[in-house]
Amino acid sequence: MTDAITISVDAMGGDNAPRAVIHGAYLALRERKQTRFIFHGRKEQIEPLLEEFPALKPVSTVNHCDTVIAMDEKPSQALRKGKNVSSMWMAIQAVKDGHADVAISGGNTGALMAMATFCLRPMEGISRPGIAAIWPTLRSDIIVLDMGATIGADARQLVDYAILGSALARALFDSDSPTVGLLNVGTEEVKGLDYIKEAGKILQQASGAGFTYHGFVEGDDIGKGTVDVVVTEGFVGNIALKTAEGTARQVGTYLRNALKANLMSKIGALFASSALNALRRKMDPRTVNGGVFMGLNGIVIKSHGGTDEIGYKSALGLAYEMARSRLIDKIGDSMQHFPIHTAAPSAAPETEAKSA
């Protein structure tokens, strides 16, 4: 891979596409000059936007696609409709064909996972892919997965997520042995569902093979940053993510209302404006936008569908860093050095991710 990173972009994916996508790419380019873009979508909508950002146009290619996957389409329907012809599929196909280093879309989450899995295929040894999120905490950023790729899981899938999450942590945080915790209803070994306790035993035996197993963690440990990687199944992970985002907005609203309550509050806010602006940036979910599809033979990033250009800039920055750090190589190395191969899963859980 050369110094330049090529990002394949589903320009039509998301509530504010393609304007927010193109504008976000311009903002991302200002921070990472070595980025190149392939935009997939309707030329008549994309090309006029590129004219508005002259610095972006020379490093961009537009691949015309008429078909766009709607946010409310079921994954199976989207796959039948969009295979080989949609902007979402073509963004992924560019990675498979070697034309791009990473793909990104803000479109339908379930459709994107279905297409990415079908096109890129899971890596050897990984039972099901997962979605990993970068999560800000009191200590530092951590990784939480799965965020909704698979509803339901078994012990093997949780172990897979631990392998994938620890590889991502090494790529992002430059840590040789990131700490891994299993999300549970308590930290005691006797608590929790059987498949969680079984996964814990496997990870305890494998601790030291590219990660350090911490044990069970509870919900409040996520915000504390107790471990580098929190592993859970997709139903719980997606609820945790949406709860955290909603809580951040709620606290932000409380704070704004309190600062406008009376004259003294407004004067205090004026003196504390620097600290308040720093807090606002820290609590802004757009600054950590982007979920990484883990366990596939290629890198795919899912942006929040309702975000604006700031959120897309963050997701594109994440895409750049994942490609630059050679994430796929690090996952492959983790798989080779993981000493325990678990048995095949006994039952296939529900796989349709929720649309977002």
Q: At 156, which CATH number? A: 3.40.718.10
% of the chain residues with pLDDT over 70: 89
Put the strands of the sheet holding 300-302 in their side by side order: 60-64, 35-41, 5-10, 102-105, 300-302, 291-294, 130-135, 142-145, 229-231, 179-183, 212-217
Do 346 and 303 reside in the same domain of the chain?
A: no
Do 2 and 121 reside in the same domain of the chain?
A: yes
Do 147 and 252 reside in the same domain of the chain?
A: yes
Residues spanned by the domain of 121: 1-126+295-325
What span, in angstroms and rounded, lies between the C-alpha atoms of 280 and 252? 7
Query: What's the one-letter identity of residue 252?
Result: G
Q: What element of type H or E holds 325? A: none
- Three-state DSSP at 303 gives coil
Task: Give the pLDDT of residue 274.
Answer: 74
Task: Give the pLDDT of residue 260.
Answer: 82
Task: Give the pLDDT of residue 342.
Answer: 42
Task: Give the pLDDT of residue 1.
Answer: 42
Do 241 and 349 reside in the same domain of the chain?
A: yes
- How many domains are there within the chain? 2
Residues 6+ apart with CB under 8 A from 162: 180, 182, 199, 203, 211, 213, 229, 231
Do 242 and 108 reside in the same domain of the chain?
A: no
> Which residue has 């594109």 as its token pair?
316
Do 61 and 148 reside in the same domain of the chain?
A: no
Write down the pTM of the prediction: 0.83
Do 134 and 182 reside in the same domain of the chain?
A: yes
Do 259 and 346 reside in the same domain of the chain?
A: yes
| Regions of the chain with pLDDT less than 50 | 1, 341-356
Do 92 and 150 reside in the same domain of the chain?
A: no
What span, in angstroms and rounded, lies between the C-alpha atoms of 285 and 306? 11
Question: What are the tokens at 173?
Answer: 């945080």
Task: Give the pLDDT of residue 341.
Answer: 47
Do 185 and 250 reside in the same domain of the chain?
A: yes
Do 105 and 136 reside in the same domain of the chain?
A: no
Do 206 and 351 reside in the same domain of the chain?
A: yes
Per-residue pLDDT of 34-53, as tens digits, reads 999 999 999 999 999 999 99
Task: Give the pLDDT of residue 232.
Answer: 94
What span, in angstroms and rounded, lies between the C-alpha atoms of 356 and 352? 12
